[in-house]
Amino acid sequence: MSAVAPSAMAPSIDRLHRIGVIGAGQMGGGIAHVCALAGLDVVLTDIGDDAVQRGYQAIERNLGRQVARGRIRAEEQDAAMSRITTGLDYALFGDCDMVIEAATEKEEIKREIFKRLTPKLRPETLIATNTSSISITRLAASTDRPEKFIGMHFMNPVPVMTLVELIRGIATDEATFTLTRDLAVKLGKTPVAAEDYPAFIVNRILQPMINEAVYVLYEGVGSVEAIDTAMKLGANHPMGPLELADFIGLDTCLSVMQVLYEGLADSKYRPCPLLVKYVEAGWLGRKTGRGFYDYRGDKPVPTR
């Protein structure tokens, strides 16, 4: 029996030691959290020092909660935090084996990030995007390495939710897919493969449901409280659709619906005008203190 040529062998997850994360918000911070906890070195950045520090502190708090609940040991928290390097200069990604982009869900922002990022990377470095809806093929084409580009869509909150959607672009090679799948498993996640169609699997199903709940509110069929109670008790959902929209961020919900509407040209995906109005008002949900609920008091209060 002849030996298998090295080029024909499957790539090893051992190739990935240092992971870059662009975006220190809920998603990027969560991704950095699980990577560091899994023993990987992490480079974390955002648009400014304040954003980076908020993200770093949030990771420390969330790891502390895991310690308090007995899910990890205090020494694991300390080790994870020691693996995270922060900064603003994209040159920090020069020695990363993979960089995961987790910026806001706007294509022009992501394209600008990749334009700045790719000159700083080694030729073999992989790029993943945490986009929840945008075409992987189109984003990959804005880089110098579409074959090493992949969608890696984590669920929120990242340390708790076990699913990761893996989305190949038209040019994504098998080695990139295999390494990314193995990384997801190393992080304790369950990867599922999705095709590169608008919003992939989860948001293709979830966001139209949320949008329809907003239409039910818009048309006066039920109040915020009635809609959420009905879906929790009538469909056994752990969280009502409007409460969930606030948790996700109404701007993100609107962005996904716009991608679906434009990408599939089907009127059933038209964003509800009330959702648009809330976003225009800056009432984006929990992160701004108001959405379908007002979070500024002791307990959330419906805003309609």
> Catalytic residues, which ones?
132, 153, 165, 203
Whole-angstrom distance, CA of residue 192 vs CA of residue 182: 12
Cβ atoms < 10 Å from Cβ of 198: 18
With contact defined as beta carbons under 8 Å apart, do 186 and 158 qualify? no
Tokens of 213: 């709940």
Cβ contacts of 234-238, under 8 Å, gap ≥ 24 = none
Nearest one of 5, 33, 7, 9 to 19, comparing CA atoms: 33
| Phi-psi domain of 261 (left: phi exceeds 0; alpha: psi -120 through 50; beta: other) | alpha
Q: Which residue reads 């304040």 in tokens? A: 50
Write the CB contacts of 281 (distance below 8 Å, at least 6 apart in sequence).
none
Q: Which residue reads 């969608």 in tokens? A: 151
Write the CB contacts of 61 (distance below 8 Å, at least 6 apart in sequence).
none
Burial of 79 (0-12, 13-18, 19+ CB in 10 A): middle
Whole-angstrom distance, CA of residue 301 vs CA of residue 304: 9
